[in-house]
C-alpha cells in the first residue's frame, strides 16, 4: 500500500512540475465548454435567401415580406434573373433561392393553383432538409392567409382543418446548450483521461526510466494502480470543474442526483484509463500511442451519439456501439442531468460499464510485462 502512495506522489509531482500542464488542465475545460457548446449547433439561425421575383405583384411582394418577417431568414438580394441568383449560390453567398414566376398572381386566380420554386444549396444535406421544411411551411402559411383573406366564410367552411399543437418536454425552449453540455463533459473527462494515461507509460519506456521501475520490487498491480489513480483524481476534478462552469455559464439543469453522476463517472473513468493503459502497453513511442488514442477517440466520439442520434445509424453500427464506452456514459449523463432518471432507470447502463471496466483493466494488467 505504501508503494502505491509513493508512485501516486511521484506522478502528481511530475504532472504539476510541468508548468505548462497546469494551465492546460484548467484551460481545456473552459475552452471546450465555451467553444464546443456554442459551435456544435445544428440550429438554423440565419438562412440567407435570394428572391427572384419575376411577377412583382402585390401577392409576390407579400410572400417575400413573409420571409423577411421570419427571424430565421435574411434576404440578402433580389436579383432580376435566376442566373444572377445562381451565381451567388455558386459563390456560396446564399443558402436558398426563392423564384416567383412571371404571372404568379394571375395564374393563381385564374387556374386556382400556381407553383413557386425553391432552390436549396444541399451540400449540407441535414440543413438543406430543414431549410426546405421551414420554407415550405412559410409558403403554406402564406397560402392559408390568402385563403382567409380572399374567400368568403361560406367557401372557407368547406375546408377541413387539423390543428397541430406541438409541445417539447424537458426542454421547452429547444435550448441546444442544455443538450450539449452533459455530452461535452463526457468528452472532457475522456480526452484528459485517455491522452494522459495513454502517453504516460510509453513516456517512461521512451525515456528509459521504465527499466528503473522494473528493477524495483514494486508489483505489477501496484504499479498500474499507482499510474491510474492520479489521472482518475485529475479527471474527476475536471468533471466537477466542468459541472460548476456549466452551471455558472450556461445554467444547465441538474435534475438528477450529483452522487449518481460521480458514481457513474468514477466507473466510466476506469474504463477509459484502462483503455489508455492498454494502448500504452502495446506501443513503444508517444507518437504511436497518441495516434492510436486519437484514432479510437475520434471513432468513439463520432459513434457516441454526441452529435448525431444513435437511432439513425444503421443496425450494424448500433451493434458495434455496444463496445463504445462513451455511448453508455453520454446516455447516463443525459438521462440523469436532463430527465432526472434514478439509479433504477440507468442500472443496465451502469452495470455494463462496471463489467467493461473489469474486463479492460484485467486485460491491461495481463498485457503489461515487467520487462523492457
Partner 1 sequence: MKRFWGFVVKEFLHIFRDYRTLLILFGMPAVQLILFGFVITNEIKDARIAVLDLSKDETTRQITEKITSSGYFLLDRNLHTYSEIEEAFREGDIKMVLVFEPDFARKLEKERIAHVQLIGDASDPNTANILVNYATGILNNYLFSMNAATIPLQIIPETRMMYNQELKGVFMFVPGLMAMLMMLISALMTSLSITREKELGTMELLLASPLRPMQIVVGKVFPYVFLAFIDACIIILLGYSVFGVPVRGSIALLLFENFLYISMALSLGILISCITNSQQLAMMISLVALMLPTILLSGFIFPVENMPKILQWLCHIMPPMYFIIIIKSIMLKGNGLFFIWKETLILIGFTLFFILLSVKKFKIRLA
Binders in 86-125 for partner 1, by CB under 8 A: 89-92, 95, 108-109, 112-125
Q: Which residues 230-249 are close enough to bind partner 1 by CB under 8 A?
A: none
Q: Which is nearer to partner 1, 24 or 221 (CB)?
A: 24
Instruction: Give the one residue of 218, 292, 363, 365 binding partner 1; rule: CB under 8 A.
Output: 292
Q: What's the min distance (Å) between Cβ of 88 and partner 1?
A: 11
The β-bridge partners of 99 are 52, 117
Tell me: does residue 169 bind partner 1 (CB under 8 A): yes
| Residues 60, 53 contacting (CB under 8 angstroms) | yes
Strands 47-53 and 73-77: parallel
Count of residues making up the chain: 372
Tell me: does residue 302 bind partner 1 (CB under 8 A): yes
Strands 96-100 and 73-77: unpaired
Instruction: Give the one residue of 287, 319, 323, 351 binding partner 1; rule: CB under 8 A.
Output: 287
Tell me: does residue 334 bind partner 1 (CB under 8 A): yes
Tell me: does residue 338 bind partner 1 (CB under 8 A): yes
Residues in contact with partner 1, total (CB under 8 A)? 115
> Which long-range CB contacts under 8 A does 362-369 form with residues at least 24 apart?
363/274, 363/278, 364/224, 364/274, 364/277, 364/278, 364/281, 365/220, 365/221, 365/224, 367/278, 367/281, 367/282, 368/201, 368/220, 368/223, 368/224, 368/277, 368/281, 369/281
Q: Which residues 13-32 are close enough to bind partner 1 by CB under 8 A?
A: 18, 20-21, 24, 27-28, 31-32
Tell me: does residue 179 bind partner 1 (CB under 8 A): yes
Tell me: does residue 78 bind partner 1 (CB under 8 A): no
Tell me: does residue 309 bind partner 1 (CB under 8 A): yes
| Residues 2, 218 contacting (CB under 8 angstroms) | no
The three-class DSSP label of residue 50 is: strand
Q: Which is nearer to partner 1, 116 or 363 (CB)?
A: 116
Tell me: does residue 197 bind partner 1 (CB under 8 A): no
Amino acid at each position: 500500500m505504501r508503494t502505491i502512495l509513493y508512485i501516486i506522489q511521484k506522478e502528481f509531482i511530475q504532472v504539476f512540475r510541468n508548468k505548462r500542464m497546469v494551465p492546460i488542465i484548467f484551460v481545456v475545460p473552459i475552452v471546450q465548454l465555451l467553444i464546443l457548446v456554442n459551435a456544435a449547433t445544428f440550429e438554423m439561425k440565419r438562412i440567407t435567401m435570394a428572391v427572384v421575383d419575376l411577377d412583382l405583384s402585390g401577392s409576390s411582394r407579400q410572400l417575400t415580406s413573409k420571409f423577411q418577417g421570419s427571424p430565421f431568414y435574411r434576404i440578402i438580394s433580389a436579383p432580376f434573373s435566376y442566373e444572377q441568383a445562381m451565381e451567388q449560390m455558386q459563390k456560396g453567398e446564399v443558402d436558398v433561392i426563392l423564384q416567383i414566376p412571371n404571372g404568379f398572381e394571375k395564374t393563381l386566380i385564374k387556374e386556382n393553383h400556381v407553383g413557386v420554386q425553391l432552390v436549396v444549396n444541399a451540400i449540407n444535406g441535414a440543413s438543406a432538409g430543414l431549410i426546405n421544411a421551414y420554407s415550405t411551411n412559410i409558403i403554406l402559411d402564406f397560402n392559408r392567409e390568402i385563403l382567409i383573406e380572399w374567400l368568403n366564410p361560406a367557401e372557407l367552411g368547406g375546408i377541413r382543418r387539423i390543428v397541430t399543437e406541438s409541445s417539447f418536454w424537458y426542454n421547452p425552449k429547444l435550448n441546444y446548450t442544455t443538450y450539449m453540455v452533459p455530452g461535452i463533459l463526457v468528452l472532457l473527462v475522456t480526452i484528459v483521461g485517455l491522452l494522459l494515461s495513454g502517453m504516460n507509460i510509453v513516456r517512461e519506456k521512451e525515456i528509459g526510466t521504465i527499466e528503473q521501475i522494473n528493477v524495483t520490487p514494486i508489483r505489477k498491480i501496484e504499479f498500474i494502480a499507482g499510474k491510474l489513480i492520479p489521472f482518475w483524481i485529475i479527471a474527476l476534478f475536471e468533471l466537477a470543474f466542468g459541472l460548476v462552469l456549466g452551471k455558472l455559464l450556461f445554467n444547465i439543469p441538474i435534475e438528477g442526483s450529483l452522487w449518481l453522476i460521480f458514481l457513474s463517472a468514477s466507473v466510466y473513468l476506469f474504463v477509459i484509463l484502462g483503455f489508455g493503459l492498454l494502448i500504452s502497453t502495446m506501443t513503444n513511442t508517444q507518437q504511436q500511442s497518441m495516434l492510436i488514442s486519437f484514432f479510437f477517440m475520434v471513432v468513439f466520439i463520432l459513434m457516441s451519439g454526441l452529435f448525431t442520434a444513435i437511432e439513425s445509424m444503421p443496425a450494424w453500427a448500433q451493434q458495434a456501439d455496444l463496445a463504445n464506452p462513451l455511448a453508455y456514459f453520454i446516455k447516463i449523463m443525459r438521462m440523469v442531468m436532463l430527465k432526472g432518471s434514478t439509479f433504477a432507470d440507468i442500472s443496465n447502463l451502469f452495470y455494463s460499464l462496471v463489467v467493461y471496466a473489469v474486463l479492460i483493466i484485467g486485460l491491461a494488467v495481463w498485457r503489461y510485462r515487467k520487462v523492457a
